[in-house]
Chain A
């Protein structure tokens, strides 16, 4: 029973998911979409409860397979907050599903549970199970609008490529188990150094990296991202961009720093190359892009590259910067997707020029999207700037030992400069369109109250992390410390 208490947050999320499924059975059809608010309230309550947890020392459950430490707790809160916002966005989107609105909410909760399990995974078995829990739910979420070819196509692409990556992942885990004789991260770390020299173990770890790279959307496993981002229902895309990516990172960090800390230096060059290529691929492909959701897809690839930069430093500051960056990324991307979700249904097509005159139709939507773009571009005083600042700073601080990091930092700066171009293109399309919109030509967009508060929360979050970074930096440092004492 003690084990169950340790995973109380995850259990609560699962119960909430099951409860949504059951409640759905006795909810009249007209009220079904409001189940999303109920789910959001439940997630919010769990989020609040998570702040009541005090961890004098890390807790373990199920024979060390599951750990609850500050690092896990940081990500638990991260995922809970992300799910909360995604649920509010989903309610806005709900009327476009013909059936299964409640199931959509429940699937989000199940994916959330998977992410939270991933945050606590300390064993390759749990790594695989939690990853599959996330991926399988996302197969359904991406193809949820099943009458729309695009959504189906996205689902099928995600399914097949996801299955492919899972196959590699499982194979890699098998190789690791075959060589090291253990699935546990802790025991793997204690294994004899000779084991690490084994080619077979290294292959296994690389294949695990492939599986995680797919979730993170890092080159060369990024290829699915734009298509799936574009086709999937917007709330699913939002969750994919924030939750799924962060889950990939939390597992990558765990594997890299808990399971095989000795391997870090050998991988550093690989990580640096992957990070640089990913950044460049993301920003370069985004330039000719006109579809807003696709643009966000490429942007998410580029951001994966920036986050990988922090990982590649292999330092505590780098990890802390990754966590901080993810925090800012959450508010920024979810704010952007909330706007995309609402705005695109009032426009013709999903192209960027369709946003013309958005500031007249709804100043709040336009302001949120503009701030999100500014934050993504890394302009002070918003969250994105400080996150990038911390990442680059952490890289420069250890660059003395690994000169390739200088090149990576240069690439990242070039990437930031190029990205300004397309992020500001979105802002220009809203406020200064190429073909001016006539006043009063477009009807104003009404926003529901929860959405309005969510948007304000995102704006506040972007400003908070950009202007008063102290508190979150401390949290991130605390979490990074458990990983790299």
Chain B
């Protein structure tokens, strides 16, 4: 009975997308209902699967060509294990909230149908990644996610900035995906299968394989894909620009789900990552976390602050995957991914609510005093902020603590970095809160602001609950069961659960808390009741670097422009003289000429035809009988 559920979960959003595109592109309400209905039903089915505790794979043969010796079999299958089950819940659950929110947010946009079609297509692709049983399927859905993300970032394509951002996101991802594809091909070439289950068995049966240098290289290449999708340094540049898309899209795709796909994929293939690759991954993650947190403290656009914060948290997760070690347990990364999905989606939706109330003003220095005008938005935003900063007992505290504990166990340098990032996180988040929600009103806009309608605030409240409580639900132990390492017995009772981190790894817990306190105090000192940013005056040129994001975009632009110019000159020469001249014109010309000559045969004259027919017979007989 439940065998059909995973297929339904996967394909309902696709059906909704197809239905909207074919029949309801111009019908606001119908398209919204189709899309929301599909994702909510998927969510319900996911919950049913979760409660039922279904495990295992359901698959069928997609392409199977066997000719004795060589056989080529590709299965399409859906894999249900703790990792994918939890991820299903996150994608469909957070997705449901955001779909509903979107109906309020996008209400007046003329392209609602197109929007929901894109959103449903995205949900389908993301679920495909989650449920994939092999690399090929994963890659197909990986690319589909890229396409739907491109569609949604560029949703307001008439704005050049949005169109450019969409292109940038897509192209940057392509760079990573190129490596990813190479990695997949390498795995297939060496191990002869793309199926995760078989790969894992192979690795378990032959632990020496993981030391194989080809597998090691494949691991690096596969990480390229994750770095692209999860926006890790140096491919991080697309994510802040992607904020040009509608805010719910930023919440769903560029905070909660799609960017998490890279981390998810790393955990999925964790069993085949070698020690070198893991160390590399850890450092890339750490660097991303630190750089992004630094950039975030000098941003003024509310969505961009959140974007850099996302980058930084993704860095955390990737770092944790790297630190978990060969054959280790990266469940802390998945735990943080889950809690992060809740509170970061909530932060974005809250920001969207503010933006809507202020008629699409996104500069925090033109806000202020919104806590009174928009209480629901403010309090839910506050909960999410506390969760993000890692204040007990909010969910983020537990997940971040596990990350810091992992770092403390394995790498002191990265532990220090992690604590610093935690402090920075608190600093920039409370900077945002103090400037935007409290303090003096900094322009006329907030005067007319008022609380958003229920269709927007309800999802906020719905997301605030897990942001607050997800730490107590045992999500980490659920994930850990995937990786088979025996975790410590679960503490029972609220208080025991709350104090467990302090007992378990006191250094990490207290270090994290201290960072939070320091960050908060610094933010309070600098930004409480301020109308202007005091930091540029204090830091001078450093502040400008931070604001300008360390000039990565400019650097890439220069670099790309230079290589592109050189390549373009070369390509132009090749294209003009060799390809267009010799190959195309030459081939095309001769082919066309032959075609025209042959057409002369087709006279239309019946007598000629008959003659040719008989001549054909004669030639045939001569060819075969006269030797």
Residues on A facing B (Cβ under 8 Å): 156-157, 160-161, 164-165, 168, 199, 202-203, 206-207, 209-210, 214, 219-221, 223-224, 226-227, 267, 270, 273, 281, 284-288, 317, 393, 397, 418, 421, 468-470
Q: Does B621 contact A (CB under 8 A)?
A: yes
Is the beta-carbon distance between B610 and A164 smaller than 8 angstroms?
yes
Let me know if B443 is at the binding interface, CB within 8 A. no
Query: For residue B72, which residue of chain A has the nearest CB?
Result: A393
In the complex, besides A203-B621, A284-B591, 19 extra interface pairs with C-beta distance below 8 angstroms are A157-B606, A164-B610, A202-B625, A206-B620, A206-B624, A209-B620, A210-B620, A214-B613, A219-B616, A220-B613, A220-B619, A221-B616, A223-B613, A224-B609, A273-B623, A285-B595, A285-B602, A288-B592, A421-B588
Q: Are B623 and A418 in contact (CB under 8 A)?
A: no
| Cross-chain contact A270 with B624 (CB below 8 angstroms) | yes
- C-alpha spacing A193/B114, complex, angstroms: 70
Residues of B within 8 A of A206 (CB): 620-621, 624-625
Given contacts A206-B624, A288-B599, contact A164 B614 (CB under 8 A): yes
> How far is it, in angstroms, between the C-alpha of A253 and the C-alpha of B107 when the chains are bound?
62
* List of B residues within 8 angstroms of A227 by Cβ: 602, 604
In the assembled complex, the Cα of A163 lies from the Cα of B67 at a distance in Å of: 44
Flag if A285 contacts B599 (CB, 8 Å): yes
Contact of A285 among B598, B606, B625 (CB under 8 A): B598
Q: Which residues of B contact A (CB under 8 A)?
A: 61-65, 67, 588, 591-592, 594-596, 598-599, 601-602, 604, 606, 609-610, 612-617, 619-621, 623-625
Q: B625 and A203: CB pair below 8 A?
A: yes
Report how far A227 CA is from B606 CA in the complex, Å: 10
Q: Is the interface of A mostly helix, strand, loop or mixed?
A: helix
Min CB distance A397 to B, Å, is 6
* Alpha-carbon distance between A161 and B601 when the two chains are bound, in angstroms: 16
CB contacts (< 8 Å) of A285 on chain B: these are 595, 598-599, 602
Q: Is the CB of A156 within 8 A of B625?
A: no
Q: How far is the CA of A273 from the CA of B620 in the complex (A)?
A: 11
Check A165–B591 contact: CB distance below 8 A.
no
Residues A220 and B616 in contact in the complex (CB < 8 Å), given A203-B625, A287-B591, A470-B63: yes
| In the complex with contacts A157-B606, A199-B625, A470-B619 CB distance below 8 A | no
A281–B598 Cα distance when bound, in Å, is: 8
Q: How many angstroms between the C-alpha atoms of A405 and B596 in the bound complex?
A: 28
Q: How far is the CB of B74 from chain A (nearest CB, A)?
A: 11
9 A-B residue contacts at CB 8 Å? A157-B609, A223-B609, A224-B609, A267-B624, A273-B623, A284-B598, A286-B595, A287-B592, A468-B62
**Given contact pairs A164-B614, A168-B617, A156 touches B602 in the complex (Cβ within 8 A):** no
Q: Across the interface, which residues of B come within 8 angstroms of A281, CB to CB?
A: 598
Q: Please, which residues of chain B bring their CB within 8 A of the CB of A224?
A: 609
Residues of A within 8 A of B604 (CB): 227
List the 6 shortest-distance A-B pairs measured between CB atoms, nearest first: A220-B616, A287-B595, A284-B595, A223-B609, A285-B598, A288-B595
Contact B617 A418 (CB under 8 A): no
Selected from A165, A214, A219, A223, the residue in CB contact (under 8 A) with B602 is: A223
- How far is B72's CA from A397's CA once the two chains are assembled, in angstroms? 14
A103 to B588, CA, bound (A): 46
CA distance A184 to B308 in the complex (A): 81
Interface centre among B61, B591, B604, B621, by most chain A C-beta atoms within 10 angstroms, is B591
Shortest CB distance B582–A (Å):
16
The CA of A220 and the CA of B621, in the complex, are separated in Å by: 12
Closest to B76 in A: A468
CB of A286, distance to nearest CB on chain B (Å): 7
Contact B601 A223, beta carbon cutoff 8 Å: yes
Determine how close the nearest CB of chain A comes to the CB of B27; give it in whole angstroms: 16
CB-contact partner of B613 in A156, A221, A470, under 8 A? A221
How far, in whole Å, are A393 and B71 apart by their CA atoms in the complex?
Answer: 13
Report whether A207 and B617 are in contact in the complex, using a CB–CB cutoff of 8 Å.
yes
How far apart sit A168 and B62, CA to CA, in the bound complex (Å)? 46
Cross-chain contact of B67 among A221, A284, A397 (Cβ < 8 A): A397
List chain B residues, Cβ under 8 A from A288.
592, 595-596, 599
A-chain residues with CB within 8 Å of residue B61 when the two chains form the complex: 470
Residues in B neighbouring A469, C-beta threshold 8 A: 63
Alpha-carbon distance A317/B609, docked complex (angstroms):
36
Distance between B290 CB and nearest chain A CB, rounded to angstroms: 44
